[in-house]
Structures are given as structure tokens and as C-alpha cells.
Amino acid sequence: MRHSPPRPLRRLGAACTCALLLCASAQGQTPNLQQGEQIAKKGLPPTVAACASCHGAQGQGMAAFPPLAGQGARYLRTQLDAFADGSRGNPIMAPIAQGLKPQERADVAAYFASLPSGIAATAGQADAKDKGAWLVERGRMQDGIPACASCHGPGGAGVGEHFPAIATLSASYMQAQVDAWKKGSRPPGPLGLMEGIAKKLSSDDVNAIAQYYAGASGAAKP
Ligand code: HEC
Ligand code: HEC
């Protein structure tokens, strides 16, 4: 079945078109993928450890380390900038992001964005007896929680530049992000969409969602 994009997506699209010129000039020169790969695999000794040492050889992520492969370059770059300026608080990523010049952040973001995520964008099934499945595929309208899949795509595989893949995230990482939005230690992101949703999610919800993605046949693990 084909749906037209949900309203927030369309609004975001419009906002991005308007900001396009601004973004293009703020991003500087075109990213250098070779330089990005070098940073990913070797780091910039002695200050910046190889990204691969935590995020996996292919950027596929593991446990507490979110996946970088196949995420939008702009999303990754924005997160690195936020770690560097402290608006996304994290003691591990702060010194790493600060150790990269803006152009190097753009290079490494573009490199990881160019890798395949390995996550299958297969639509799942809403199941009234499975809380996680229902939240992902349908949401919980009485609490104003939209379906995760409406923005993060079928299989939680991510959509475009702004909606990251969430299918392979551990429950504890997902919970940490939800808590960060609740207490303001992660920037609200595009249009504050995710911050608003995070504030409505309980830890039970988060566990059920992570469990559903971990077991869903669509969410093929890299
Ligand atoms: C010592 C381990 C470690 C290394 C090395 C490391 N990271 Fe991370 N990274 C983390 C952790 C832990 C998080 C999760 C932070 C949080 O909980 O907010 C993270 C999060 C991120 C995120 C946010 C992802 C998202 O989906 O929100 C990006 C982007 C990122 N790292 C990029 C990099 C890059 C680029 C490098 C190499 C220059 C790198 N990391 C090296 C541990 C590491
Ligand atoms: C209206 C669109 C929208 C919906 C619906 C939505 N999200 Fe998001 N989500 C976003 C955006 C945009 C981001 C990126 C935020 C940023 O740039 O910091 C995001 C980011 C995330 C992240 C952080 C990923 C990372 O690697 O750090 C998690 C976790 C997340 N969403 C979980 C969920 C869950 C669970 C649901 C369903 C209950 C959901 N989202 C529904 C828009 C949405």
C-alpha cells in the first residue's frame, strides 16, 4: 500500500526546501569521503579514536553504540556538532567531536552516510496483543503518540536525511535518548518532532518497542 507522507513529513519537507540555500552555504566545501574513511578507521591520533572501534567496523553499531552506516549525512553532522558544543551532552562523544574540525565532521558524516545500513525496510504488522508492534505500526492516538514507522519508515530503517534508523537500537540506548529529550540534554531536532513524542513515552513503551524491533522479521540485523 502507498500512503502520501504524513503531515509532519510534508511540513518538514517544506521547511527544508526553504532552508536549503542556508544549509548548503553553512556546510562548506564538498565532503571528502577518503578523509572520512580514514577518520572512521584510524581516527586522528592521539585525540580522536577510530570511530570503528566503538561503532563497529562497518558502522553498524552495537549495544550502547548507535549505528552510523546509512544514516543521513546531515543527521550525523548535526549530532557531531551538538556533541561538540555540548547541547547533546555525552562525556564519550564530546571530546571526540571537539577533536574534529567542522570539515572533518562533514567528511566522516558523509562517509558513514555512504555505507549500507543493512537494515531491511520491510513493513511490519500491527498486533493488538503486542504493545511494541502496536506502538511502532499504529502509535497510541489517545496519548498523541504517532506510529514510529510513520517517520522512521518500514522496519525502522530510517527515511531520508532527517529520520534516523531506529530498528537496531538497544532498549537502554533508546531509553537514554528519551530521557535526554525529557530533561533537555539533547536538542529537540527538526521541528521538535521527536522531543514532543519522547515526553509521552514511558519506559515500558520503550522496552516494548525495542523488543519488537529486535524480534521483527523485517528488522534484519547487520
Ligand atoms: C569510545 C567509544 C566511541 C568512539 C571511539 C566513537 N563513538 Fe560515537 N558514540 C559513542 C557513544 C557511547 C554514543 C552514544 C551517545 C549517547 O548516548 O548519546 C555515540 C554516538 C554517536 C553519534 C550519534 C548517533 C545517533 O544516532 O544519534 C554519532 C553521529 C557518533 N557517535 C559519531 C562518531 C564518529 C564520527 C566517531 C569517530 C570520529 C565516533 N563516533 C567515535 C561512542 C563512541
Ligand atoms: C513525527 C515524526 C517522528 C515520529 C512519529 C517518531 N520519530 Fe523518532 N525521531 C524523529 C526525528 C526527526 C528524529 C531525529 C531527531 C534529531 O535530529 O535529533 C528522531 C529520532 C529518534 C531517536 C534517536 C535515534 C538515535 O540514533 O539517536 C529515537 C530513539 C527515536 N526517534 C525513537 C522513536 C520511537 C520509539 C517512535 C515511536 C514511538 C518515534 N521515534 C516516532 C521523528 C519522529
Q: State whether the Cα torsion 119-124-127-131 is positive or negative.
A: positive
CA–chain centroid gap for 9, Å, is 16
Q: State pTM to two decimals.
A: 0.89
pLDDT at 144 over 90: yes
Q: Which residues line ligand 2 (CB under 6 A)?
A: 8, 66, 75, 78, 135, 145-146, 148, 150-152, 162-164, 166, 169, 174, 177, 189-190, 193-194, 197, 201, 209
Residue 1 has pLDDT above 50, yes or no: no
> What would the pLDDT profile of 146-174 be if each residue is shown by its tens digit?
999 999 999 999 999 999 999 999 999 99
**pLDDT confidence of residue 29:** 75
Q: Which ligand is nearest to the CA of 65?
A: 1
Per-residue pLDDT at 20: 47
Question: Structural domains in the chain?
Answer: 30-114 (1.10.760.10), 131-215 (1.10.760.10)
DSSP result, 173-191: HHHHHHHHHHHT-S---GG
Average pLDDT taken over every residue of the chain: 89
